[in-house]
Chains A and B, each alone.
Chain A
Amino acid sequence: MPVNLLDIQKKLKGFGAQALARKEEIAVRQKEVTDLIQGYAHRLDELKARVSYAADVVRHLRCALPVDEPLDTVVPKPPLPKKFTVMAADGSQINPSRHAQVAFCVINVGLIKMVRGSGLTPEIFTQSQLLDYDSLFTPSGVLISEGMVALKRDLREREALADLAEDLLLPAISMTDGPLELYREPQETREFEKTLDQYLGVLKRLHEQGLMTLGYVDKPGSSLIGQLLELVELSDQDLEAYSHRQRKFAGVNDVSLLSDLLVNPGDRSAIFAIHSETSQRFKGDLALHFFYLNVGTPGKTHLARVEIPAWVACDHDLVGVLQAVLTEQTCIMGSRPYPYILHRAHEVAVVTLPEHQHVEEMIVAEFDRRGISVDEKSNKQYHKDLDRTKTRYQG
């Protein structure tokens, strides 16, 4: 049954009006936050003290924490090093499904290593991991969630980079898509803690190997800076009742705040630390930081959020290298800036449907060989897989 476009059409007028009204509300709030950025640009100690106080009274507090640069800092792009290594890893997965014939999970990681300035062809690697059968089930006996698989994939991406980090030409930068910070699903706390410990171990290895690591967030929707400035606007009493679900500056995201500041391609914002429950586990050299980078073209600003560990954030020379390299990588993709090397890692990692089916057939054959009974696909999956192309009477 197709979408009933008449039903949609009837709602369009109201929908557009709501969107306009919301945009106008947000514009008013945005002006307030922009004024606060100017007002607090150099009052970093006050802001740090406020975050410290709020952390004690607000549950699940998540905001930016200034480090040592004024809030309205703009750092232009430094020159690109003549020679450097840039690497990326990206993962894709086959999630276990109760609708399939057998339960299985595959994590596929694509890696690419490019030595810029060498004139050499980049190296490509693929690491495919069939998860142990026992690890597919939670202690209560149900299949692990897609969120848990995503967590394992994030870990594998960083492990793969660390495995490849021998004898690198320095400076060397590695990147993955998305934040460096990990997110958990509430029901899988124990497994999350275990994975997080392994993850922190890998980040430590990358530091020891001198391989800078970053998480690249395209089209970020976060409002970490807005949430920081919200804290100074609230009284102590209001702060105790503060919830990230009812925010004073709701809808004002960091990109809209900084777009008028970071006007030139390659400009970066001040570096901030991330204050959140999870980020508290990233201590010392691994403490999570971020900045915004204009990866757009002249007259067309496009901001990305770049997450880095403290050991990179504290060394402005390293940040400069990273800034120049990221700007070049995004520039390679022309009118739609995104790091070339990350896109290539994604291309290498993608598991296609025929590959998915082939792996499933291999597992079913192994089960048959061992005399293990194999379920049928669920009827729901069977019908989904039916060939939907119509045939025509040819007689």
Chain B
Amino acid sequence: MSEIEIGRLLRSGTTGFVVGCKVNQLNAPSFGAMVRVPLEAQYQVYGVIYDIHIEDDGLVRQLITAQDVPEEVLKDNRENRNVPVEIGVLALGYEQGGRIFHLLPPRPPLSLDAIFLCSSGEVAHFTGEGRFGYFRHILRDRDKPIEELLAAHLYQARAAQVDAGNEAWYQMAVGELITLMRDDYQGLIKTLSAVSEI
């Protein structure tokens, strides 16, 4: 299966990173999708997309005031102009020597490292390891739309696990979430409400 590169790293930290991509690369990544950043042989960082952000500038604001914008002008702005789409990624863990760790990565990715969308097999491999330890990293950050992010992630991960023949994964994941959020009743209700949309 061919790899889908979605962009390159703009800035990073231990808990997450921001990826820049052109608008014409935007058809691949989606909210809640898992990505990976291969850093060196046998070491890559995994994360989940929690935000897709499109910047404006003076020209775009001016074009908004026009009655009609020709197709060629739309394409010029989306493909030629230096207005990147910024994708926020939350670090979920890493892979080293073929082993998956649901811990924060020892070293963050560097500027301009290429970021790839995880294949269904890679999602199943990462999420199927251990006991959902990576949920901690999502639940920790209350500034992000956690409930929606979990729902989007579970939707995509469940499909990958079903493809891999692990039908029970989804029930186990929801059960683990209920355990982890038992002291946060309001958060749990919101999360279950979002998950019920799946």
Contacts and interface: CB of A to CB of B under 8 A. Distances in A.
Interface of A: 112, 114-116, 118-122, 124, 328, 331-336, 340, 343-344, 347
B64 A124 contact: no
Contacts of A333: 62-63, 66
Given A118-B72, A120-B72, A334-B62, 18 more contacts: A114-B72, A114-B76, A120-B75, A121-B72, A121-B76, A121-B80, A122-B72, A122-B76, A328-B70, A331-B67, A332-B63, A332-B69, A332-B73, A333-B63, A334-B63, A334-B64, A334-B67, A335-B65
Interface residues of B, number: 18
Contacts of A116: 70, 72
A121 B81 CA distance: 11
Interface string B42-73: 00000000000000000100111111111111
Nearest to B77: A344
A120 B78 CA distance: 12
Contacts of B75: 119-122
Interface of B: 59, 62-73, 75-76, 79-81
Contacts of A340: 73
Contacts of A112: 76
21 contacts: A114-B72, A119-B75, A121-B75, A121-B76, A121-B79, A122-B72, A122-B76, A328-B70, A331-B66, A331-B67, A331-B68, A333-B62, A333-B63, A333-B66, A334-B62, A334-B63, A334-B65, A334-B67, A335-B62, A335-B65, A336-B65
B81 to A, nearest CB: 8
Contact of B66 (A119, A121, A332): A332
A336 B62 contact: yes
10 nearest A-B pairs in the assembled complex, by CB-CB distance: A334-B65, A334-B66, A121-B75, A335-B65, A122-B76, A121-B79, A119-B71, A114-B72, A124-B80, A332-B66
Contacts of A119: 71-72, 75
A188 B67 CA distance: 47
Contacts of A334: 62-67
A120 B74 CA distance: 10
B66 to A, nearest CB: 4
A55 to B, nearest CB: 44
B182 to A, nearest CB: 44
Contacts of B64: 334
Say whether chain B's binding surface is mostly helix, strand, loop, or mixed: helix
Nearest to A343: B59
Nearest to B79: A121
Contacts of A328: 70
A115 B76 CA distance: 11
A86 to B, nearest CB: 9
A343 B66 CA distance: 15
Contacts of A335: 62, 65
Contacts of A121: 72, 75-76, 79-80
A115 B79 CA distance: 15
B25 to A, nearest CB: 14
A37 B70 CA distance: 39
A230 to B, nearest CB: 39
A120 B75 CA distance: 7
A124 B72 CA distance: 13
A336 B59 CA distance: 11
A122 B73 CA distance: 8
B72 A115 contact: yes
Contact of A122 (B65, B68, B80): B80
A270 to B, nearest CB: 29
Contacts of B79: 121
Nearest to B74: A121
A332 B68 CA distance: 7
Find the residue from B65, B68, B80 having the highest chain A CB count within 10 A. B80
Contacts of A331: 66-68
A112, A328, A332 interface centre (most CB from chain B within 10 Å): A332
A336 B63 CA distance: 9
A112 B75 CA distance: 13
Taking each of B66, B68, B79, which has the highest tally of chain A beta carbons within 10 Å of its own beta carbon? B66
Contacts of B81: 347
A333 B58 CA distance: 11
A22 to B, nearest CB: 33
A217 B76 CA distance: 24
Contacts of B62: 333-336
Nearest to A122: B76
A335 B63 CA distance: 9
Contacts of B80: 121-122, 124
A332 B70 contact: yes
B93 to A, nearest CB: 37
B167 to A, nearest CB: 45
- Select the residue from A115, A122, A124 with max chain B CB neighbours within 10 A: A122
Contacts of A115: 72
Contacts of B59: 343, 347
A243 B68 CA distance: 48
A62 B175 CA distance: 86
B184 to A, nearest CB: 38
Nearest to B75: A121
Contacts of A347: 59, 81
Could you say which of A115, A124, A328, A340 has the most chain B C-beta atoms within 10 Å of its C-beta?
A340
